[in-house]
């Protein structure tokens, strides 16, 4: 594991993913597995949840 990343669980797939070690609560990151937006809800330990959709998907 690189020093500037941490491993946590993707809440959608359950797979382990690496994210930047300096994430903050409320930060949105993209899942490297699904591409879905994930929200950081805790940093000790790091907990991710699927980010709520605030507007319509631009791809529709």
Q: What is the pLDDT of residues 20-52, one digit of tens each?
A: 999 999 999 999 999 999 999 999 999 999 998
Cβ–Cβ under 8 Å, residues 50 and 37 = yes
Q: Give the predicted TM-score (pTM) of the model.
A: 0.79
Q: What is the pLDDT of residues 3-23, one digit of tens each?
A: 799 999 999 999 999 999 999
CA distance to 42, 58, 59, per residue, from 4 (Å): 18, 32, 32
Res. 1 pLDDT band, cuts 50 70 90: very low
């Amino acid at each position: 594991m690189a020093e500037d990343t941490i491993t946590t669980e993707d809440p959608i797939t359950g797979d382990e993913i690496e994210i930047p070690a300096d994430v903050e609560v409320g930060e949105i990151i993209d899942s490297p597995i699904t591409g879905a937006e994930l929200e950081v809800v805790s940093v000790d330990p790091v907990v991710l949840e699927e980010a709520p959709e605030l507007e319509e998907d631009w791809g529709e």
